[in-house]
Amino acid sequence: MKRVSVLGATGSIGQNTLDLIRRDRDAFEVVALTAGRNVDQLARDAREFCADLAVIGDETQLDALRDALAGTRTKVAAGEQAIIEAGARSADWVMSAIVGFAGLAPGLAALEQGATLALANKESLVAAGALLLDTAKRHNARILPVDSEHSAIFQALIGEDPASVSRVIITASGGAFRDWPMEKLSTATAAEAATHPNWDMGQRITIDSASMFNKALEMIEAREFFDVSPDQIEVLVHPQSLVHALVGFCDGGLMAHVGPHDMRHAIGFALNWPERRALPVDVLDLAQTGTLEFEAPDLNRFPPLRLARHVMEARGHSGAVFNGAKERALDHFIAGRIGFLQMSEVVEEVLTRILHQSGLNDDQITLDTACKADHLARDGADAVVQELIG
Ligand code: NAD
Ligand code: MG
Residue 47 lies in a domain: yes
Query: What's residue 390's pLDDT?
Result: 87
Residue 311 lies in a domain: no
pLDDT digits 0-9 by tens, 274-298:
999 999 999 999 999 999 999 999 9
- Cα–Cα distance, 215 to 208 (Å, whole number): 8
Domain finish residue from 77, 112, 145: 145
Residue 87 lies in a domain: yes
Q: Are 177 and 126 in the same domain?
A: no
Q: Distance, CA 387 to ligand 1 centroid (Å)?
A: 30
Residue 350 lies in a domain: yes
Q: Are 135 and 190 in the same domain?
A: no
Residue 214 lies in a domain: yes
Range(s) of the domain holding residue 352:
316-389
pLDDT digits 0-9 by tens, 314-347:
989 999 999 999 999 999 999 999 999 999 999 9
- How far is the CA of 180 from the CAs of 145, 175, 177, 210, in angstroms? 32, 10, 5, 11
Q: Are 133 and 167 in the same domain?
A: no
Domain finish residue from 128, 145, 162: 145
Starting from the edge strand earliest in sequence, which strands make up the sheet with 243-249, in order?
Answer: 233-237, 165-172, 243-249, 254-258
**Is pLDDT at 142 greater than 80 in this prediction?**
yes
Among 6, 7, 12, 56, the mutation site with the greatest number of ligand 1 atoms within 8 A of its Cβ is 12
Average pLDDT over residues 208-235: 96
Domain finish residue from 145, 170, 193: 145
Look at phi and psi of residue 174 and say left if phi exceeds 0, alpha if psi is from -120 to 50, else beta. Answer: left
Q: Are 129 and 157 in the same domain?
A: no
Residue 201 lies in a domain: yes
Q: Are 54 and 131 in the same domain?
A: yes
Say which ligand is closest to the CA of 54.
1
Q: Distance, CA 103 to ligand 1 centroid (Å)?
A: 9
Q: Distance, CA 123 to ligand 1 centroid (Å)?
A: 10
**Is pLDDT at 359 greater than 90 in this prediction?**
no
pTM higher than 0.95 for the full model? yes
Nearest Cα to Cα of residue 254 among 148, 144, 157, 145: 157
Q: What is the dihedral of CA 259, 260, 263, 268, to 10 degrees?
A: -60
Would you say the CB of residue 149 lies under 6 angstroms from ligand 1? no
pLDDT digits 0-9 by tens, 146-198:
999 999 999 999 999 999 999 999 999 988 898 899 899 999 999 999 988 78
ipTM of the prediction greater than 0.95, yes or no: yes
Residue 309 lies in a domain: no
